[in-house]
Amino acid sequence: MDNEGQQQQEEQTTLPQQQQETSTTTATTTTAEDDNNSSSNMTSPSRPQRTRRPPSYLEDYEMDVDLRRIYKQSAMNTSPSRSSSSSASSSSSSTRAPATPRRTTNNASTARRALQLDQTRQRRQDRVNERRDDTAATTTANNRATTTYVNPLDRFATVRNTAADTNNRFREYQSAAIDEDEALRQLLNQHTEAQTFKNELTVGTLCRHKWAISKLTGQEQGEQSSNPITCFFTPSLGGEPKKLTLDEVLDGCQYHPGRIHNPEQKPTVEIVFSFDATGSMFQAIDELKRKLSELIRQLMTDLPTIRIAVIAHGDYCDHSVFYTMAKLDFTNDIDTLVRFVQTIDMCGGGDPAECYEMAIKECGALNWYKSAPDATEYDDSISRVLVMIGDDVPHGADEYFKIDWREELKSLYERLLLKTYGIQALHREHANEFYQELADSTYGTRLELENFSRMHELVLALCYRESAEHASIAFATSSASASGSNDNDGSQTIIEQGTMSDSEMLRIHHAIHDSTQTQVTVQNVQYEISVNDLACRFVRVDNVVYIEQNKQKTTKYAQMAKDGHKVTWITHKGAWGLIVDDDFVRK
């Protein structure tokens, strides 16, 4: 029994040693097989060789690792049956075989992957350098970028090495004389100035005394003045009638008092420009913005005693989304005019008719010149003009706040002798009667705006025409004849101290009255003669403006022009001169 127990104890001691040796041998065999498989896979990849390079926008995503090979190796390492010896060793339930040691990384494979990664990085850097070299070469050759585009939507409006398309809004920023940084700086400055100027505008409810509609009492509706005036309108898309109060309209109104230099100086002309700013007409304002700064500076230089007010309007229903009306009171300050017009945005408009009747009524609330603050009457020697530019009709006298535009226009004419120009755009036949009656009722003129690109010329012609008309009245009333003894200083200042001879000035004089000529050459320089529908041809030469006499008036010089005489007015910095036929008239 002792011998049998000793023999059984020796067998139990020997068995774990044999199992451990068997496990070690199995692990060594498995590791060797894995290394052989790995070596064969690393040296002979199964993926096909790349025959062409991917697109440039995918080159940064190029991978130099074979994912199929990694997946295959992972599958082999996680196989449940490694070898027959491992299966035999796992038959013992009492003792678990130790885990298979992790295979060490092949140094050759690591070096190869590092080399491939370096090559990929180098190729990317080479492509970046090539693009940088190409850009630098183009910039050096042209001394600027080939084409500067400020707005991507207008990219195709400018063709390389050709003049800019006339319909391109940003053509002045795409010339060879300006680079992209300068163009963006100018646009940013305009936007910043416009946003800053908007802070100077006052909401209508905070300056009620500057708005004529605030004086509506609602007596037509049997309401007290303390109650909010309300109206009902039907939306343009249909639906139930909506309620609109006068305070809501005033909340959508904006006002700027304007700035006047030398307020004691009597103006010669006061002119109001009223613009329909709805979608169909906003191109007129947009066109005016392009050359506004140059236009205003030219006007204020030639006509320093002129005062200008601006009204931009949509419709009553625009008060919540856009604005109903923006109003700039009379001013002769260049920066105020330019900055105000730059802030005008487009309105919606709602129904086809717009609030032209409100614009006419608000003209009466402007700061028209008076000889004294407490004066009850206005000076008749000042030319007062309303220029209404639009394409549709006003609301009827029984709509919205029941404003009758005919009664408002009649009141303005009786109180101010306000003359109205009806400028009609887009040839809408149903609006013809409105613009014709608008002009006829105040002895004004109806015009059709054929091309928005001529908007700045129209504004200049209107201002020059009215100023020349005022000068003709002043000449006729200050002397009994055009060549009287008192006519010794006006045109003489312009003519005798100018840089042109009398013959050159007469050449300009005759060219203006020749309807076949659109240009005049003076001292080897060509000047374009402005031709417009106002029967007012003018040309600006050497800061002196030559204006054809308007034949549609009833003044003395208008009658002389109708009789066949050539009458030309000359102005320079507020001084006026006159040429009749071939004679220089001295004031």
Name the 3-class secondary structure at 221.
helix
Q: Does 272 have pLDDT greater than 60?
A: yes
Interatomic CA distance for residues 155 and 470, integer angstroms: 47
Mean pLDDT is lowest, of 131-135, 204-208, 230-234, for 131-135
Interatomic CA distance for residues 498 and 508, integer angstroms: 14
Interatomic CA distance for residues 193 and 340, integer angstroms: 10
Query: What is the structure's pLDDT at 477?
Result: 64
Measured in whole angstroms, the distance separating CA 185 from the mean position of its chain's CA atoms is 14
The sign of the torsion formed by the CA atoms of 141, 147, 148, 152 equals negative
Mean pLDDT is lowest, of 48-57, 543-552, 563-572, for 48-57
End-to-end CA distance of the chain: 158
Q: Which residues on neighbouring strands pair with residue 421, listed in sequence order? A: 387, 445
Q: What is the pLDDT of residues 326-346, one digit of tens each?
A: 999 999 999 899 889 888 988
Mean pLDDT is lowest, of 99-108, 184-193, 513-522, for 99-108
Region 354-360: mean pLDDT is 95
Token pair 């009458």 is found at 567
Q: Does 65 have pLDDT greater than 60?
A: no
- Tell me what percent of the residues of the chain surpass a pLDDT of 90: 30
Query: What is the structure's pLDDT at 9?
Result: 53
At residue 389, what is the residue type?
I
Query: What is the structure's pLDDT at 177?
Result: 52
Most confident range, picked from 51-55, 58-62, 264-268, 307-311: 307-311
Mean pLDDT is lowest, of 12-16, 354-358, 382-386, for 12-16
What tokens appear for 298 in the block? 């030219």
Q: Does 433 have pLDDT greater than 50?
A: yes
Interatomic CA distance for residues 586 and 356, integer angstroms: 44
Give the CATH number of domain 202-449: 3.40.50.410
Own/partner pairs, 509-516, CB within 8 angstroms, 24+ separation: 509/546, 509/566, 509/568, 509/579, 509/582, 510/566, 511/539, 512/537, 512/538, 512/539, 512/546, 512/547, 512/548, 512/568, 513/537, 513/548, 513/566, 513/568
Q: Does 13 have pLDDT greater than 90?
A: no
Question: From start to end of 198-304, where are the E strands?
Answer: 202-203, 230-233, 242-245, 253-256, 269-276
Query: What is the structure's pLDDT at 248?
Result: 92
> How would residue 289 be classed by pLDDT, with cut points 50, 70 and 90?
confident
> How would residue 245 be classed by pLDDT, with cut points 50, 70 and 90?
very high
* Per-residue DSSP letter, 291: T
Mean pLDDT is lowest, of 459-473, 483-497, 500-514, for 483-497
Mean pLDDT of the chain: 75
Interatomic CA distance for residues 396 and 357, integer angstroms: 9
329 neighbors 367 (Cβ within 8 angstroms): yes
Query: What is the structure's pLDDT at 120?
Result: 86
Query: For residue 23, which phi and psi values (nearest 5 degrees)?
Result: -65, -40
Region 552-557: mean pLDDT is 80
Of 313, 306, 318, 307, nearest in space to 274 by CA? 313
Most confident range, picked from 159-168, 453-462, 485-494: 453-462
Q: Does 150 have pLDDT greater than 50?
A: no
> How would residue 495 be classed by pLDDT, with cut points 50, 70 and 90?
very low
Q: Does 435 have pLDDT greater than 80?
A: yes
> How would residue 180 be classed by pLDDT, with cut points 50, 70 and 90?
low
Q: Does 437 have pLDDT greater than 60?
A: yes
Which of residues 30 and 297 earns the better pLDDT score? 297
Query: What is the structure's pLDDT at 269?
Result: 93
Most confident range, picked from 95-104, 180-189, 417-426, 548-557: 417-426
Q: Does 154 have pLDDT greater than 70?
A: no
Task: Dump the DSSP string for 127-188.
Answer: HHHHHHHHHHHHHHHHSS-S---S-GGGGGGS-TTSPPPTT-TTGGGSSTTS-HHHHHHHHH
Q: What is the pLDDT of residues 126-142, one digit of tens each?
A: 887 887 776 666 555 54
pTM: 0.66
Which of residues 77 and 345 earns the better pLDDT score? 345
Which of residues 410 and 148 earns the better pLDDT score? 410
Interatomic CA distance for residues 253 and 313, integer angstroms: 9
